A and B are shown apart, each in its own frame.
Chain A
Amino acid sequence: MLSPGRTASCRLLRPASWLSLRQGSQRSAGGAPQRELIKKHDLEKNELRPLYMDFQATTPMDPRVLDAMLPYQVNYYGNPHSRTHAYGWESETAMENARQQVADLIGADPREIVFTSGATESNNMAIKGVARFYQAKKRHVITTQTEHKCVLDSCRVLEAEGFNITYLPVQKNGLLDLEMLEACIRPDTCLVSVMTVNNEIGVKQPIKDIGQICRSKGVFLHTDAAQAVGKIPVNVNDWKVDLMSISAHKIYGPKGVGALYVRRRPRVRLEPLQNGGGQERGLRSGTVPTPLAVGLGAACSIARTEMEYDHYRVSMLADRLVQKILSETPDVIMNGDPEQRYPGCINLSFAYVEGESLLMALKDVALSSGSACTSASLEPSYVLRAIGTDEDLAHSSIRFGIGRFTTEEEVDYTAGRCIQQVRRLREMSPLWEMVQEGVDLKSIKWTQH
């Protein structure tokens, strides 16, 4: 429970719409029961496995990545920070090699890459670290309402420490209004944090333009590029980005490792979150997990060579999926800008169908509604709320993820099942019947809401 002092400071600084985020999680902790319509159950011995279409939640490891990692799990097990023997030296060489591979993917210098335990840690480090370092003179941070939970939560912690945070709204298409951003920047703003590609609706923010604005105003730009790195061309110098979070398990690498890009020229200073032996330039102490770092490096290097091939395929499959579904199912809305997006993340709202029941009906395809981090609570996704989706449409949205390993058969199967199940669920829905009869649902006066 929040202590009285903390509640008071939160009330002063926090805009009203965000109270629901905190209350939502409290409700599930204490009060109202958390219904889980989709009951967790292990697959039967001979039951066929569902198709994996949830590439935004995580990705399978590329066999080439596993192949690169295994020697460091089996034989080359030295600590990369051991300076006195061959085990340490070979491990360090591998780690530095991986660092170079990550740097090459984003156009950075290897000295600017810090290995972390994932994008969540990178985000925490970037936001809290930068804000706390410059807190003497600068007390304002700007972010958007569609950021990942870890960014929003870090900002909330900063608010409790006395910072001012502006949560910028996004337009209906999910994109940030650049003029609004420029107007919001104050002399005491130290950081702007905007994610490159949204994990729920796939919208791609104009980071290059945002970088231009931030650089001209002398404000650091942090971007959570977990869903973008390796999938679209990313260049930290082109985009004038000062901090960037990378996650390995979103780009066919191992889980449990990520990286943070921290610019050296002009230097970005951070207060480290994790203290200790001074590894990773003092920014993130702790033994760097060599096999995981090697995996991240291999994943980045593979992504670099395969980017064009993968992008072409993913776009083609995404078009195929969307065209099929939209051509045979009326009243389907794609959330997020149709042009400024990453094609592999498709978020569709099926009107007059409940999202959870559609997911249950599609039990032989692994999909999600909303992000993996928020799928436990029954609240509609805050991202969909931020782009202005109606409550009922937000509840009936499904996210389809397409990736490197998706095949045409999987896409066709998914589209077919989706069309079939939506049709079946709609036939059972009294709301749909009313719509078919020409009743305008918005004109109905419900007695109890």
Chain B
Amino acid sequence: MAASSRSQVLSLYRMMLKESGRFPSYNYRSYALRRVRDAFRANRKVEDPKSVERLMEEGREALALIQRQVSIGKMYEVQKTVVE
């Protein structure tokens, strides 16, 4: 598998942010958005292709997790919190 290019990384980042924004729960949504952003920001300088690939794999698994949890959240929706 070819090393992940910049565009692939950005594409994963965008997908993760989009999916995180779909959490019905305010707290989970804000946490996921913030955490994804901070994680990508923290790993911005990583050069070694093996590490990049490993991080991308983790990212893809996290994306799948977010998708599953968003669906579960949508199944059991509750009212919004005061701050929304």
Contact = CB atoms under 8 A, between A and B. Distances in A.
Interface of A: 43, 45-52, 60, 63-64, 66-67, 309, 364-365, 404-407, 409-410, 413
Nearest to A50: B82
B65 A364 contact: no
Nearest to B80: A48
Interface string B47-84: 00000000000000000011011001000001111111
A89 to B, nearest CB: 24
A220 to B, nearest CB: 39
A67 B65 contact: yes
21 contacts: A43-B79, A45-B79, A46-B79, A48-B79, A49-B80, A50-B82, A51-B81, A51-B82, A63-B28, A63-B65, A63-B66, A63-B69, A67-B69, A309-B35, A405-B27, A405-B31, A407-B27, A407-B30, A407-B83, A409-B83, A413-B83
A49 B66 CA distance: 23
Interface of B: 26-28, 30-32, 35, 38, 65-66, 68-69, 72, 78-84
Query: B interface, by DSSP: helix, strand, loop or mixed?
Result: helix
Top 10 nearest A-B pairs (CB, nearest first) are A405-B27, A63-B69, A364-B82, A49-B81, A48-B82, A407-B30, A405-B31, A67-B65, A409-B83, A413-B83
Which of B28, B30, B81 has the most A CB atoms < 10 Å from its CB?
B81
A51 B83 contact: yes
Nearest to A49: B81
Contacts of A365: 82
B79 A49 contact: yes
A226 B31 CA distance: 23
Nearest to B65: A67
A49 B78 contact: yes
A359 B2 CA distance: 58
